[in-house]
């Protein structure tokens, strides 16, 4: 199990880089159709543990 890094406020590209380097896959969920592509939250959330190689959903605004 690995700890999910904090990505809130990061751009999608930067968050994807951080999560990939931590050993996770990334799925994107846009909460609104237009926005700034900034991370609002992840699921599982930052600080939670998830298996290496699992998918982290990045919620964007």
**How much is the pLDDT for 32?**
83
Specify whether the CB–CB gap between 38 and 60 falls below 8 A: yes
**How much is the pLDDT for 7?**
98
What are the φ and ψ backbone dihedral angles of 54, each rounded to 5 degrees? -75, 165
Please count the CA atoms within 13 angstroms of the CA of 44 that sit on its side-chain side.
14
**How much is the pLDDT for 33?**
81
Along the chain (61 residues), what's the average pLDDT of each consecutive run of 10 residues?
97 97 97 86 97 97 91
Q: What is the pTM of this model?
A: 0.92
**How much is the pLDDT for 6?**
98
**How much is the pLDDT for 36?**
85
């Amino acid at each position: 199990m690995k700890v999910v890094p904090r990505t809130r406020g990061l751009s999608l590209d930067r968050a994807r880089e951080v999560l990939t380097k931590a050993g996770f896959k990334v799925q994107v969920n846009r909460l609104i159709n237009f926005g700034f592509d900034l991370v609002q939250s992840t699921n599982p959330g930052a600080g939670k543990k998830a298996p290496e190689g699992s998918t982290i959903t990045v919620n964007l605004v």
